[in-house]
Amino acid sequence: DIQMTQSASSLTASVGDRVTITCRASQSISSYLNWYQQKPGKAPKLLIYTASTLLGGVPSRFSGSGSGTYFSLTISSLQPEDSATYYCQQSYSSPLTFGGGTRVEIK
């Protein structure tokens, strides 16, 4: 199975800060990497697919990059509504696996 590792389980930043969340795969997954946002008590929402493609309707302050084994999700200017847990997920091979999540809190 491919292991997905999000090195930071949580981070705290201020409104307006640039925030980067990283995700590492245990083997190359090309660009088959998706990012989800989950708020407490709610279902996950897809933000970015195939590493860097922003889903329609997602604010442009979100961006994704990377390929192979190293990926990142960047929020260019953190907003209060971005307080959530972010998960990466590989769709390269079964079983599909998620990272452990990074909780973003607003200072």
Partner 1 sequence: EVQLVESGGGLVQPGGSLRLSCAVSGFSLNRHWMHWVRQAPGKGLVWVAHINNDGSTTNYADSVKGRFTISRDNAKNTLYVQMDSLRVEDTAVYYCAREGTGWSKDYWGQGTLVTVSS
Interaction site with partner 1 (CB under 8 A): 32, 34, 36, 38, 42-46, 49-50, 53, 55, 87, 89, 91, 94-101
Nearer to partner 1, 9 or 12 (CB): 9
CB of 46 to partner 1, least distance (A): 5
3-state SS, the chain, equals CCCEECCCCEEEECCCCCEEEEEEECCCCCCCEEEEEECCCCCCEEEEECCCEECCCCCCCEEEEEECCEEEEEECCCCHHHCEEEEEEECCCCCCEECCCEEEEEC
CB of 43 to partner 1, least distance (A): 4
